[in-house]
């Protein structure tokens, strides 16, 4: 009986530790990737390319890329649920 | 090993938001929308500062979109009284990576706040005249982003985090005179899964210098005088 309890505790402990490690790993991995935002719009930005000069991305280009990629309305909180004016 | 296998997964690109950032006249709460004189007086006195905050976020943080009516002197919903907070509500335009999707809910909120919320708090608290106004209670940051793997029919779902804190705590936290845990304990925290309230989640804050170090390739702010 005592052995069974000890095994159960050991197994439980291992599960807790391993799940914590996985979570920490995932956070660490996420943090290693600074491009964690839709900079993927890169390819879609309308670069103002002129020959011989480097491309420039403006906020308006970011906006245009987002508009083109918009996929519809999102289920989200309404302002009245979170703030009052 | 877990992380490596996650990285191999398909990376979904998701663009969040109501298509585009609200223009300043829509993002900054209009004076006539304020329901009390206190809010209206603050918004009137600091109209120029609100516009500057908008411009800095719009041009210097192109991955954030200020929500319509998301910038102004609002108060937390459901809280009695008229405590006014300088608030900013943004959509975070983000890439949904498998490792982010794999995080538990509270860790996703923590990651978002650590990366974007602290930076926004710093921008809100930067103006000494706003801070000094006796009628201002504090600062608040609301972040909304796409919830990973949460499509309902054809509709995507978002997650939202709101953090409201008194101005002394914000200043002390930003100046590192208050620990992250003390700051969190003192703050009002609300979280939502889509439209559903999650209550107070166990938020953590860690160091993340993304906002001040990341440079979008070839990006050039249209306004040069913002010190981006």
User: Which position has the higher pLDDT, A27 or B173?
Assistant: B173
Interface test with A, best of B15, B148, B150, B198 (most A CBs within 10 A): B15
Torsion angles phi and psi, residue B60, rounded to 5:
-95, -15
Residues of A in contact with B94 (CB under 8 A): 36-38
Domains in chain A: how many in total?
Answer: 1
Tell me which of B29, B40, B62, B115 to substitute to probe the interface with A (most A C-beta atoms closer than 10 Å): B62
Q: Give the pLDDT score at B16.
A: 38
B157 contacts A83? CB cut-off 8 A: no
Is B107 in CB contact (< 8 Å) with chain A?
yes
Contact partners, residue A33, CB within 8 Å, separation at least 6: B97, B99
Average pLDDT over residues A5-29: 49
Tokens of B65: 């979109």
- Domain hosting A75: range is 23-81
**Strand B196-199 and strand B188-193: pairing?**
antiparallel
Å from A64 to nearest chain B CA? 8
Mean pLDDT, residues B9-15: 30
Q: CB–CB of B6 and A80 under 8 A?
A: no
Angle at A34 between CA B14 and CA B180, to 5 degrees: 105
- Summarised one tens digit per residue, pLDDT across range B43-101 is 999 999 999 999 999 999 989 999 999 999 999 999 999 999 999 999 998 777 888 88
> Confidence band (pLDDT; 50, 70, 90) for A67?
low
Q: What is the mean pLDDT of chain B?
A: 88
Q: What would the two tokens of residue B60 be?
A: 């210097």
The pLDDT, as a whole number, for residue A37 is 42
Q: Do B156 and A81 touch (CB under 8 A)?
A: no
Residue A48 lies in a domain: yes
Mean pLDDT of A25-42: 48
Which has more pLDDT, B79 or A57?
A: B79
Instruction: Give the model confidence (pLDDT) of B122-156 as tens digits.
Output: 999 999 999 999 999 999 999 999 998 888 888 88
Q: Are A52 and B133 in contact (CB under 8 A)?
A: no
Question: Could you tell me the pTM of the whole model?
Answer: 0.79
Instruction: Select the more confidently predicted residue: B202 or B4.
Output: B202
Q: What residues does each domain of chain B span?
A: 4-213
Number of Cβ within a 10 Å radius of residue B156? 19
* Arithmetic mean of pLDDT over chain A: 58
The closest of A85, A32, A50, A8 to B209, measured between CA atoms, is A32
Quick check: B163 and B186 in contact, CB under 8 A? no
Residues 57-86 of B with CB under 8 A from A: 58-59, 62-63, 65, 67, 69, 72, 74-77
- What's the rounded Cα separation, in Å, for the pair A36 and B94? 6
């Amino acid at each position: 009986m005592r052995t069974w309890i000890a095994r159960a505790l050991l197994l439980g402990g291992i599960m807790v530790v391993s799940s914590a490690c996985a979570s920490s790993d995932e956070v660490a991995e996420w943090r290693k990737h600074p491009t964690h935002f839709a900079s993927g719009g890169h390819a879609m930005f309308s670069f103002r390319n002129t020959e011989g000069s480097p491309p420039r991305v403006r906020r308006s280009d970011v906006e245009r890329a987002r508009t083109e990629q918009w996929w519809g309305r999102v289920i989200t909180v309404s302002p009245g649920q979170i703030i009052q004016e | 090993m877990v992380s490596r296998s996650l990285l191999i997964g398909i990376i979904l690109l998701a663009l969040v938001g109501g298509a585009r950032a609200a223009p300043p006249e829509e993002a900054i709460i209009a004076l006539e929308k304020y329901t009390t004189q206190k809010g209206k007086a603050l918004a009137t006195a600091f109209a120029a500062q609100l516009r500057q905050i908008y411009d800095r976020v719009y041009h210097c943080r192109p991955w954030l979109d200020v929500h319509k009516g998301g910038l102004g002197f609002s108060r937390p919903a459901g809280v009695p009284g008229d405590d006014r907070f300088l608030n900013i509500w943004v959509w975070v335009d983000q890439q949904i990576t498998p490792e982010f999707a794999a995080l538990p809910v509270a860790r996703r909120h923590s990651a978002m706040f650590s990366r974007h919320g602290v930076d926004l708090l710093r921008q809100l608290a930067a103006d000494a005249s706003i801070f000094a106004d006796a009628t201002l209670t504090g600062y608040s940051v609301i972040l909304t982003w796409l919830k990973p793997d949460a499509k309902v029919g054809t509709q995507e779902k978002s997650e939202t985090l709101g953090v409201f804190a008194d101005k002394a705590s914000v200043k002390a936290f930003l100046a590192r005179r208050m620990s992250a845990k003390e700051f969190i304990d003192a703050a009002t925290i609300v979280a939502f899964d889509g439209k559903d309230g999650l209550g107070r989640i166990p938020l953590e804050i860690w160091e993340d210098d993304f906002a001040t170090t990341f440079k979008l390739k070839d990006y050039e702010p249209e306004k040069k005088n913002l010190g981006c």
